[in-house]
């Protein structure tokens, strides 16, 4: 089991948020920039987001102590909380999604944090994703409710890093950890929607997904995030 300290997590999340702000200032291309430290505590993210759930249980995604936070319920079984930002990515499927995330927990099953790009706002079922557990990363997409995994490998999550899902090159999807390219795959045939967001998956009532400190979207490749 991995212990999570709100104090340490907050410091790391703040560093990541600063990195996203600097990237916006340097490039001027951020179309969405959400700092969850400015959100009030609550059981939802608020009016800026479309939220829904899959799986079973009563766990909720909301705001707690300056983070987007999944609050587990004892009856959670493979429950996933989705959040889609209601602002489109400047009307283009060529966009890049970034977030600062703390380490997902691994207690009798791995929780997972996901970045979402190229989402179809109308259907809730079509999108490209990058999924990150404590020890595994994967790239893939969901189309008509069916999941296709393009690539996956083992790794070790770095607490408080900024992760970027890059779909700015046609038919190509990449995942970055700060400035490091972790994975790259062909995404031919994947969804090409204009919306973005994230998700948190809890396999049970004990494994909590990582919290998110900040979230940003660009419609053109920015300079690498260095926080």
Residue 223 maps to a domain: no
At 7 the pLDDT is 39
- Compute CA distances 89 → 93, 118, 186, whole Å: 7, 9, 21
Q: 92: domain range?
A: 6-218
Q: Give the tens place of pLDDT for each residue, 177-202.
A: 988 999 999 999 999 999 999 999 99
Give the position of tokens 């089991």: 1
Assess if residue 1 is contained within a domain.
Answer: no
- Asked, for residue 117, whether it belongs to a domain, the answer is yes
Distance of alpha carbon 176 from alpha carbon 59, whole angstroms: 29
What's 15's domain CATH number? 2.60.120.560
Q: How many domains in the chain?
A: 1
In a domain? residue 225: no
Strand partners, 181: 176
Cβ neighbourhood burial of 159 (10 Å; 0-12, 13-18, 19+): middle
What does the alpha-carbon distance between residue 52 and residue 91 come to, in Å, rounded to a whole number? 23
What does the pLDDT read at residue 3?
Answer: 43
Q: How wide is the angle at C-alpha 198 spanned by C-alphas 50 and 178, nearest 5°? A: 145
Report pLDDT for 160.
79
Residue 36 lies in a domain: yes
pLDDT at residue number 147: 95
pLDDT tens for each residue of 21-49: 656 555 556 788 888 888 999 999 999 99
b (16+ CB within 10 A) / e for 30-45: bbbbbbbeebeeeeeb
pLDDT of 227 = 43
Q: Is 20 inside a domain boundary?
A: yes
Residue 151: predicted pLDDT: 97
pLDDT confidence of residue 8: 42
Helix (H/G/I), strand (E/B), else coil: 218 = strand
Q: Is residue 213 part of a domain?
A: yes
Assess if residue 119 is contained within a domain.
yes
pLDDT attached to residue 2: 40
Q: What angle do CA 194, 18, 113 make, to 5 degrees?
A: 50
The confidence score (pLDDT) of residue 226 equals 47
pLDDT less than 70: residues of the chain? 1-29, 90, 220-227
């Amino acid at each position: 089991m991995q212990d999570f300290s709100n104090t340490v997590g907050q410091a790391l999340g703040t560093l990541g948020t600063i990195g996203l702000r600097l990237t916006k200032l340097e490039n001027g291309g951020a179309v969405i920039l959400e700092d969850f430290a400015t959100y009030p505590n609550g059981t939802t993210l608020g009016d800026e987001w479309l939220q829904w759930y899959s799986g079973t249980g009563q766990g909720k995604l909301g705001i707690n102590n300056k983070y987007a936070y999944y609050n587990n319920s004892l009856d959670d079984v493979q429950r996933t909380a989705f959040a889609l930002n209601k602002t489109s990515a400047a009307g283009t499927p060529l966009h890049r999604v970034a977030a600062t995330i703390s380490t997902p927990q691994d207690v009798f099953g791995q929780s997972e944090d996901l970045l979402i790009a190229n989402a179809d706002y109308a259907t809730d079922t079509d999108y490209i994703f990058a999924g990150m557990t404590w020890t595994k990363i994967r790239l893939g997409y969901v189309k008509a409710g069916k999941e296709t995994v393009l690539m996956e490998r083992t790794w070790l999550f770095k607490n408080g890093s900024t992760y970027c899902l890059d779909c700015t090159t046609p038919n190509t999807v990449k995942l970055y950890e700060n400035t490091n390219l972790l994975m790259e795959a062909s995404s031919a045939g994947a969804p090409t929607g204009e919306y973005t967001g994230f998700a948190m998956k809890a396999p049970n009532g004990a494994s909590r997904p990582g919290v998110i400190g900040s979230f940003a979207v660009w419609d053109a490749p920015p300079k690498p995030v260095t926080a």
